[in-house]
Amino acid sequence: MEMAKQEIRIGVYVCHCGLNIAGSVDCEEVAKFAASLPNVVLAKDYRYTCSDQGQELIKKDIRENRLNRVVVASCTPRLHEPTFRKVCEEAGLNKYLFEMANIREQCSWVHLHDREAATEKAKDLVKMAVAKAALLAPAEEIEVPIIRKALVIGGGVAGIQVALDLADTGYKVYLVEKQPSIGGMMARIDKTFPTMDCSICILAPKMSDVGHHPNIELLANSEVIDVKGYIGNFHVKVLKKPRYVKEDCTACGDCSKVCPITAPNEFDAGLALRHAIYTPFAQAVPSTYIIDMNLCLNKDEIMVCDKCIKACERQAIDFTMKPETVELEVGTIIVATGTDVFDPSTLPNYGYGKYLNVITSLEFERLINAGGPSGGRLIRPSDMKIPKRVAFIQCVGSRSNKSGRTYCSNVCCMNTIKDSLLIKEHWPETEIYVFYVDIRAYGKGFEDLYKRAKNERAIFIRGLPAEIIEDPKTRNLWLIGENTLLKEPYKLNFDLVILSVGLEPRKDSEIIQRLLTLSRTQDGFFMEAHPKLRPVDAATGGIFFAGCAEAPKDIKDSVTQASAAAARAGILMAKGKVTVEAITPVLDVEKCKACGLCTKVCPYNAITLNKELKRVEIVEAACGGCGTCAAECPSDALTQSHFTDEQIMAQIDAVTEHDAEKKIVAFCCNWCAYAGADFAGVSRMQYPPNVRIIRTMCSGRVAPKFVERAFARGAAAVLVAGCHPGDCHYINANYQTQKRVERLWRKMEQNGLDKERLQLLWVTAAEGERFASKIREMQKLIEKVTMEEIELAKRVFAKAGGA
Amino acid sequence: MPERHWRTPLDAEKAVRPKAEIHIIKDQCKGCGFCIQYCPKKVLEESDEINARGVHPPRVVDEKECIICSFCTAVCPDFAIFVKEKQCKDGC
Amino acid sequence: MNTVKAITYKEALAECVDAEKLKFCFECGICTASCPMAELLEREYNPRNLLEKLFIDTERALTSDELWLCAWCYRCYRRCPQALKLPEIFLHARRFAVKHGYTQPFKNAVKKFVKASPLPLVAILTCFHPERAGLDLNTVLNETEQLRMEFLSEKKEKMEFIKGKVAVIGSGPAGLTVAHELALKGCEVTVFEALPEPGGMLRKCLPSYRLPREFLDKDIKALETLGVKIKTGIAVGRDFDFNSLWDEGYKAIFIGVGAHKGRELKIQGTKLDGVFHALDFLRMVNSGEKPNVEGKKVVVIGGGNVAVDSARIALRLGANEVSILYRRSIDEMPANPWEVKEAEDEGVKVEFLVSPKRISGKDGKVAAVEFVRIQLGEFDATGRRKPIPIEGSEFVKEADMVIFAIGEAPDLQFLPKEIELTEDGTIWVNPLTMETTLKGVFAGGDAVTGPATIIEAIRAGKIAAASIEYYLRLLG
Ligand SMILES: Cc1cc2nc3c(=O)[nH]c(=O)nc-3n(C[C@H](O)[C@H](O)[C@H](O)COP(=O)(O)OP(=O)(O)OC[C@H]3O[C@@H](n4cnc5c(N)ncnc54)[C@H](O)[C@@H]3O)c2cc1C
Ligand SMILES: Cc1cc2nc3c(=O)[nH]c(=O)nc-3n(C[C@H](O)[C@H](O)[C@H](O)COP(=O)(O)OP(=O)(O)OC[C@H]3O[C@@H](n4cnc5c(N)ncnc54)[C@H](O)[C@@H]3O)c2cc1C
Ligand code: SF4
Ligand code: SF4
Ligand code: SF4
Ligand code: SF4
Ligand code: SF4
Ligand code: SF4
């Protein structure tokens, strides 16, 4: 509070960002306007404020003009807030005395064609930032130690690489794999493009390294069921399902031979049988056999069959094993859960699931693999004969609006090229046709492989078959389509058709998403913190991605990303400590009435009621920083640092100072809604310029009095936007948002106000269009709001809003 | 794994299944039905016949399904059922 | 032709394609390969290419004959990976073209169609719908009649004579097309029709407001002038054996018997008075025995065109309230989306995601239908999401009349067993030739595809006729 007495000296910097901002905002004018605001001692516009020269300029001004607050109007704080905070620190100013106005993602980029309105909006945004800046207070961050252990979820090639890299660096790694063995997709494919190495030959040594590494603890047949905590300090619960075979198992396979139960082996895409006691494949790690209890005759502890027990000389089989919950403490988590493949039976015109000789590319991999069900002979399932005419169909389930998978799966083109060469290698006489739309051979060595396939006379026809018709006698297949280059129809007959199925997000990604509070893109893959600059970081601190979990990619990219993720996690753990943003609540002991309401809403149980002292206590390290407690406290006893009531009220007041009746005041949570609005900007989605966004960490921070204040000051409409229920970055704090908004709606209705003027929006960081269309919709709404309605709202909320 | 496995595995025919020979000593059965209840492959059912002890002894529904676990033998209190592996003479 | 001011790209696009429908076409060619019109007029029409032209060279697309060749079967839309509604995009473009006075291309298109296909009047009324684009239907029909006459008299002058008698079973559009094409080559064609009058579904079930029968009669009469014999009231299998056709000297046989067997639902109460199969209901209406619908509450169960037509007819016959209840969602509905929209505009209520559980009656008559609400599950093998009943969501809907329109299948019991059927109970044909698994026997239309459209039946007939011609020539 000492600062308050001191004279406030704010410096404002309006960035042109080349033409990114200056193209649609008159930066000079904004700077001139800023200079006229209270407490502002200097305002400048600058071409690239984030450049070295720009940073030097700020530092110089701080020193020479004794600035004690800095406001930069430029891009989103999600990008450069850390940069400018560092600049302030270097010039001796506490970094919490810095504030940003987002005039790029949320202004110039979304109002490309309305320079005047964009400039006006930029002025407002600067005014809001200046108003908040005047009330900023310095703060010290607390440091938390980072546990020097990592958890890797998923044991595909990406997970394996992360685990090995981190373990070799010297960190303890827990590798959790859902399946009985690690290896993932790569263990199932035969050769790998572009070099045509044998997949399992290069993967198996890595797998066994994982098995033997002293720093790696492999938890196969296990799943993560609970994650608590925060960066550096995660408490994880893993459910380790029983194998019913002890580690004494030598993998001799005697048990399998006697087991009377068989079922399709998932590893072989169902093309071969396995027994109830089995190992999915010869090179499996761990090699210990496993009993599939869904199949075994011994259920509900009734021992019907003991054949395997008798057969096992090592006496390794143990039906008394129970599921175990393992508790882990780790500092970083790497998500490497990979992808599923598309199920083409949802495309009836291709007849998959009905026509025996229509197979998927994954089935092909098993068929051509020497260790596979046909011993490496490519046979067609209907008569086990070697096909003479083979067709590949590309983009099955990818790049399609209808299947909901609009992205390119990245690997299927090259995979087909690889497959066609494999066929040619073994059976050079085979006629191969590839039906494609575009061939994507973009990587190192890819084009050469493509040329080789063409040289080997694989025939590429542009145009996908519309339909496959099976000849009931021969089981041959007719492909009917259009050659779109020649503009000619084709009807061709084949012995075997291979559908190049796409990759899709894991069906159960939602579980991991919820446990780790991650975001996913519209495609359903996990979303990185920044697509270019932080491609392996999750938005949640301490969590990283590797491999196909983040987007479809080939092995090389998966491994590259894995090593990158290992490095990122390693950096954190090497430092051994991390600072937590100083945005925890501060209690005013005088005001606290010990009502305990805050303790009920805190998602982290970071506040407890001390009945003896008749007040609550805050555990700062446990606090996530959502601020929902501060919104809940009826006595104003809790203040969230850096997002105080006064600061937010000042922002609201700045917005509503003039033309309030034409404006929408929007409260957006940092992680989803604010990021979604940024995404709309990055994608240049245009929407009406009347909205002013106030950032809070969580929508749960939005106290009803903020909304009331906005209406009391004559705002046309208010938007509260947060993450979808269940996706909340602060576990479930947004449920409080919902409750509070519903209460406000009731109040509005009771007072004869149109409740449509207060909107609640759930939006993910990837749903820019959803945000933009909401604003378009609200624009229509506010055009209809009359002056009487504005006045009525002012009266209704006058008292509560304290305007 | 979420892929759909709809095909008959290619090696389904090669899988050697034990061929069972189920022997029911009808008149020794006291009709407790344990064998029927516990058979994991549901190979047995109650017959309509009435045996010497005035009860319905079990009968075989589908001998091919039996996997010779001999659990029926184990649970039968009166030793009325036993199973042997068929000895293949003519290359069955 | 009147001169028109140049059309700007932006202006045209804004009119032609509303943003909602404008997704991304990646030029896979599936639409063209699925399109019956593209097959009928191979060098003249290519929907994929037309769509692209709309973007690249809007003016040329708007003035091209091609723009008018889409026959609204929606087959492309059902398969397009991007779910693009080509027929609707083209309709917007047609309207725009008409607004700018480009009507000559339509006339050219009709000329092309008349040369390629019989039944032009039927096709214009039921497939091309020039009135939707703002053209006057009557003028179009008169002009078409004129064009046909010119074409036929021209053709008749230089007709070939191919040896060989051909039997056609079924006088629907598929059968009639085969007869027409072969008659033009001078073949001796006899059509056998089980019903008293020729025309197949067109006569039996198509609502007369959509296809006034005089136009059907005109189209059929034109065929007969070519020498096609149509024997009505004769059902193959009932009146004589399929194989006896060979004995009578027929060298080739075409099967175009359509799909006339209404599927049944196994629920309680389907035998009550007031429960109809849609095809029976429509047949009754079209044959003049008007079922009494006035003032009644009619419930139609199903989601295809037949359901929609039945509902619209019931409304026209004076029903008080007509609703269509379908167990999946609008996206899965097999009915032509345009048709559904028109029905809704007329006052038919459409309810989705409901499935009937039982029909209850009073004094032997229908009184109400109990429905259960449905939730869509995973995709099934038909590419649609599987309907799963929601427990406890049952509700009762009062009804005086229930019409089942839950799909039709062909009745093929009369066929010899050498002719193989598919899993769906339709006839399997070689897609190149339309030949069945029995030599000399060809098939097409709904009997092969399951319930489809007129234009698809015509296309099948056309291909089959070419194959039959080839076959007869080989026989010598
Ligand atoms: C048919 C086909 C052919 C291909 N051919 C090639 C090729 O020739 N060359 C090439 O470079 N790339 C190829 N690829 C791509 C290659 O397979 C992938 O790039 C690679 O396997 C990705 O590895 P990953 O570790 O990210 O994922 P995955 O291999 O999918 O591994 C993920 C692992 O995580 C586990 N997991 C999932 N969810 C959980 C959970 N909740 N908890 C614990 N564990 C979990 C899974 O069981 C799995 O073991 C091909 C892909 C396919 C489908
Ligand atoms: C209510 C309704 C509305 C429709 N509306 C449209 C529309 O607006 N636009 C559109 O394009 N399509 C429409 N259709 C579909 C269209 O009518 C059919 O796809 C088309 O008629 C199929 O032609 P077809 O030649 O295969 O068979 P059909 O037209 O069904 O003709 C088959 C003929 O064979 C006869 N037959 C059957 N068995 C024998 C036998 N054993 N011996 C002798 N003869 C036999 C039948 O009596 C029948 O006359 C509609 C269908 C219905 C039911
Ligand atoms: S469990 Fe026993 S019998 Fe089975 S593989 Fe292991 S050691 Fe061999
Ligand atoms: S106990 Fe189970 S796993 Fe072992 S042999 Fe019997 S059925 Fe197979
Ligand atoms: S990689 Fe090729 S086949 Fe796969 S989705 Fe992309 S373009 Fe289609
Ligand atoms: S041996 Fe096992 S499977 Fe066979 S009948 Fe007895 S209980 Fe059933
Ligand atoms: S089917 Fe669809 S995506 Fe493919 S070419 Fe046609 S319109 Fe384009
Ligand atoms: S609606 Fe039918 S006729 Fe029109 S383009 Fe599509 S497939 Fe062709």
Tokens of A761: 């929006």
Contact C162, C187 (CB under 8 A): yes
Conformation bin of residue B33: beta by default, left when phi > 0, alpha when psi is -120 to 50: left
Nearest CA to ligand 2 atom 27: C258
pLDDT of residue C7: 56
Q: A545: pLDDT confidence band, cut at 50, 70 and 90?
A: very high
Distance B23 CA to ligand 6 centre (A): 11
Of ligand 6's listed atoms, the one at least distance from the Cα of B68 is 1
Closest Cα in chain A, distance from residue B2 (Å): 7
Burial C250-272 (b: 16+ CB within 10 A, else e): bbbbbbbbbbbbbeeeeeebbeb
Pocket residue to mutate for ligand 5, from A398, A436, A446, A523, most atoms within 8 A of Cβ: A398
Q: What is the CATH number of the domain that holds A574?
A: 3.50.50.60
At what angle are helices A555-575 and A157-169 packed, to 10 degrees?
30
Residue type, A490: Y
- DSSP SS3 for A335: strand
Of residues B38 and C436, more confidence is placed in: C436
Is residue A124 scored above 90 in pLDDT? yes
Contacts of A482 in chain C (CB under 8 A): 29-30, 32-33, 38, 46, 48
Query: Distance, CA A473 to ligand 5 centroid (Å)?
Result: 33
In a domain, A196, yes or no: yes
Query: Which of A140, A166, A188 is the endpoint of a domain?
Result: A140
Encoded tokens for A586: 């501060």
**Cβ(C198)–Cβ(C219) under 8 Å?**
no
Residues with CB under 6 A from ligand 2: C 126-127, 169-175, 192-195, 200-202, 205-206, 210, 235-237, 256-258, 260, 282, 305-306, 309, 414, 445-447, 452-455, 457
Ligand 3 centre to CA of B69 (Å) is 19
What is the b/e burial string over C175-214, where b = at least 16 CB atoms within 10 angstroms of the residue's CB? Answer: bbbbbbbbbbbebbbbbbbbbebbbbbbbbbbeeeebeee
Nearest CB among C80, C420, C431 relative to A480 is that of: C431
Joined tokens for residue A674: 């604010």
Q: How confident is the model at residue C158 (pLDDT cuts 50, 70, 90)?
A: confident
Mutate to test the pocket of ligand 1, among A416, A544, A553, A555 (most ligand atoms within 8 A of CB): A555
Check residue C383 and give its pLDDT.
67
Residue A145 confidence (pLDDT) above 70: yes
Report yes or no: C70 and C47 within 8 Å, Cβ to Cβ: yes
Q: Is the pLDDT of residue A244 over 90?
A: yes
pLDDT of residue C2: 43
What pLDDT score does A228 carry? Answer: 85
Q: Is residue A629 part of a domain?
A: no
* Domain match, A544 and A594 both: no
Q: Which ligand is nearest to the CA of C25?
A: 7
Residue that finishes a domain, picked among A527, A547, A579: A579
Handedness of CA C293, C295, C300, C303 (dihedral sign): positive
Q: What are the structure tokens assigned to A796, written together?
A: 């209704």
Radius of gyration over every alpha carbon of chain B, rounded to an integer in angstroms: 16
Distance of CA C16 to the CA centre of its chain: 25
* Ligand 6 binding pocket mutation candidate from B24, B34, B71 (most atoms within 8 A of CB): B71
If one counts every other C-beta atom within 10 angstroms of the C-beta of residue A617, the result is 12
Could you tell me the residue range of the domain that residue A605 belongs to?
584-621
pLDDT at A26 over 60: yes
Around ligand 3, the residues with Cβ closer than 6 Å are A 245, 249-255, 289, 311-312, 314, 316-317
| Residue C82 sits at the chain A interface (C-beta within 8 Å) | yes
- How far is it, in rounded angstroms, from Cα A187 to Cα C278? 55
Q: Are residues A447 and A544 in the same domain?
A: no
Decide which of A290, A320, A350 is a domain's last residue. A320
pTM of the entire structure? 0.86
Going by their DSSP bridges, the two strands A465-470 and A324-330 should be labelled as unpaired
Mean pLDDT of A664-683: 94
CATH number, domain C261-407: 3.50.50.60
pLDDT digits 0-9 by tens, C376-386: 887 776 667 78
Q: Is A186 in the pocket of ligand 1 (CB under 6 A)?
A: yes
Put simply, whether A776 touches C (Cβ < 8 Å) is no
CA of B19 to the centre of ligand 4 (A): 17
Q: Where are the domains of chain B?
A: 20-85
Q: Judge whether C430 and C417 are in contact, CB under 8 Å.
A: no
Tell me if A630 is assigned to some domain. Answer: no
Contacts of A344 (CB under 8 A, 6+ apart): A350, A352, A353, A360, A396, A397, A499, A501
Is it the case that residue A699 has pLDDT exceeding 50? yes
Do residue A484 and residue C48 have CB atoms under 8 angstroms apart?
yes
Which of the 8 DSSP states describes residue C368?
Answer: E
Which residues contact residue C218 at a Cβ distance below 8 angstroms, ignoring those fewer than 6 apart?
Answer: C121, C145
Segment (H or E) for A293: none
Omega of the bond leading into A194 within 30 degrees of 0 (cis):
yes
Q: Looking at chain C, which residues constitute the CATH 3.50.50.60 domain(s)?
A: 160-260+410-475, 261-407
- Alpha-carbon span C446 to C453, nearest angstrom: 8
Tens of pLDDT, residues C419-461: 999 988 999 999 999 999 999 999 999 999 999 999 999 999 9
Q: How far is CA A274 from CA A268, A382, C180, in A?
A: 9, 21, 60
Closest partner residue to B2 (CB to CB) among A265, A340, A381 is A340
Percentage of residues in chain A having pLDDT higher than 70:
99
A90 and A136: one domain?
Answer: yes
Structure tokens belonging to residue A694: 């106030």
Of A354, A465, A491, the CB nearest to C423: A354
Regarding the beta carbon of A297 and ligand 4, being less than 6 Å apart is answered yes
A175 Cα: distance to centroid of ligand 3 (angstroms): 24
Q: Do B69 and A297 touch (CB under 8 A)?
A: yes
Neighbours of chain C (3+ CB pairs under 8 A): A
Question: Which pLDDT belongs to residue C330?
Answer: 84
- Asked if A734 and A652 sit in the same domain, the reply is yes
DSSP C391-431: TT--EEEE-SEEEE-S-EE---TTS-TTS-B-TTSSB---T
Domain at A753, CATH number:
3.40.50
Measured over the CA atoms of residue C32, residue C37, residue C41 and residue C44, the dihedral's sign is negative
Whether B25 contacts chain A with CB within 8 A: no
Residue A715 CB contacts under 8 Å (≥ 6 apart), including other chains: A655, A656, A660, A661, A663, A664, A665
Q: Is the CB of A479 under 6 A from ligand 4?
A: no
d(CA C171, CA C202): 10
Residues A111 and A210 in one domain: no
Decide if A423 is inside a domain. yes
**CATH class, B20-85 region:** alpha beta
Q: Are residues A295 and A312 in the same domain?
A: yes
Query: Contact A73/A15 with Cβ under 8 angstroms?
Result: yes
Q: Which fold has domain C160-260+410-475?
A: FAD/NAD(P)-binding domain (3.50.50)
Given this model, what pLDDT does residue A803 score? 45
Q: Are residues A315 and A350 both part of a single domain?
A: no
Q: How far is A271 from chain B (nearest CA, A)?
A: 4
Kindly give the distance from the C-alpha atom of residue C453 to the centroid of ligand 2, in angstroms, as a whole number. Answer: 8
For residue A764, is it within any domain? yes
Ligand approaching nearest to the C-alpha of A282: 3
The residues lining ligand 7, judged by C-beta closer than 6 Å to any ligand atom, are C 25-31, 48, 51, 76, 80-82, 84, 86
Q: At C322, phi and psi to the nearest 5? A: -125, 130
pLDDT, average across residues A84-105 = 96
Q: How many CB atoms lie within 10 A of CB C339?
A: 19
Asked whether residue A205 falls in the same domain as residue A148, the answer is yes
- Joined together, the tokens standing for residue A652 give 């609201």
A298 alpha carbon, closest ligand: 4
CB neighbour class for A611 (10 Å; exposed up to 12, middle 13-18, buried from 19): exposed
Q: In this structure, are residues A536 and A546 in contact, taking their beta carbons and an 8 Å threshold?
A: yes
Residue C423: its chain A contacts at CB < 8 A? Answer: 354
User: Does residue A378 surpass a pLDDT of 60?
Assistant: yes
A270 lies in a domain?
yes
C-beta atoms of A472 and C437 within 8 A: yes
Per-residue pLDDT at B92 exceeds 80: no
Q: Structurally, how many domains does chain A consist of? A: 6
- With respect to residue A631, please indicate whether it lies within any of the assigned structural domains: no
Q: Hey, is the C-beta of B68 within 8 angstroms of any chain A C-beta?
A: yes
Cis peptide before C207 (omega within 30 of 0): no
The pLDDT assigned to A2 comes to: 46
Out of A89-98, A413-422, C386-395, which region has the weakest mean confidence (pLDDT)? C386-395
Helix C213-224 with C137-157: angle, nearest 10 deg: 10
Q: Is the pLDDT of residue C3 over 50?
A: no
Ligand with the closest atom to the CA of A464: 7
C381–A399 C-beta distance less than 8 A: no
Q: What is the pLDDT of residue B1?
A: 44
Mean pLDDT of chain C: 91
Which chain A positions have a beta carbon within 8 Å of C432's beta carbon?
A: 478, 491
**pLDDT, mean over chain A:** 94
- Tokens representing A581 are 């943003």
| Packing angle, helices C278-286 and C305-316, rounded to 10 | 50
A145-149, A294-298, C465-469, range with the lowest pLDDT? A294-298
Burial of A258 (0-12, 13-18, 19+ CB in 10 A): middle
Q: For residue A343, what are its two tokens?
A: 């199920």
pLDDT at A377 over 70: yes
Taking residues C133-155, report their average pLDDT.
94
Ligand 8 contacts CB of residue C127 (under 6 A): no
